[in-house]
Amino acid sequence: MTEKTRKNPKRKSPASKKSPPTATGNNGLRPGQVLSDDCREVVANSVRHILNAVGEDPSRNGLADTPDRVARMYDELLQGYNVDPEQLLNNALFDVEYDQMVVVKDIEFYSMCEHHMIPFFGYAHVGYLPDTQVIGLSKIPRLVDMFARRLQVQERMTHQVATFLEDLVKPLGVGVVVEATHLCAVMRGVKKHHTRMITSAMLGDFRSNVSTREEFMAHIRHGGSPGL
């Protein structure tokens, strides 16, 4: 981008070209905004096309504002793309002499299946075995949300939560179990209403030590977890 633009009356300068809409980046996005204003308009117009395609009248009462509502909705559903991990942490790592397992369970989450762009939702259970530091309690649910509020597949989300926590806290081990209902298998496709998917990621002692893993699973089951 350091190359000088030659003066040519028949050629527009790069500054005069309109950049294509992008979902992220320095495009004048306001705090919490995932889509630029140009992208919102693209999404809204696409929704209008869908409404027309299914035989609806996008201008009728009840649907007139729907395209804009859908465009704004994605800022909330996909806000994980704009979370700054350093701001998420906010210096919430503490030197504590504690060598027993820490478990935060029944963390509700909502995500979007990247294959059909409809929700999957459920509970995440996160545990780690501290070495020299512990992380603030509220940061673990926020960490789950950071990866859930994206276009996702459950397997990848589970792995991302585990590896991020491992890199962040440097514990002796990490365990993550995620259980979810996928609307792509409930309201369409096979239409199995009671089907739940369970994924896990075990790192460090949680993977190599059977008793550590069993203790983690026992903590999840204790007290009547909504899922397991």
Which residues are marked as active site? Answer: 113-116, 154, 182, 184
**H or E element, residue 93:** strand 93-95
From residue 102, alpha-carbon distances to 71, 165, 212 in Å are 39, 12, 12
Q: What is the rounded CA–CA span in Å between residue 206 and residue 210?
A: 7
Q: Measured between alpha carbons, how far is 174 from 130 in angstroms, rounded to an integer?
A: 9
Beta bridge partners of 108: 123
Give the Cβ contact number of residue 144 at 10 Å.
Answer: 27
Q: Dihedral sign, CA of 198, 208, 131, 85?
A: negative
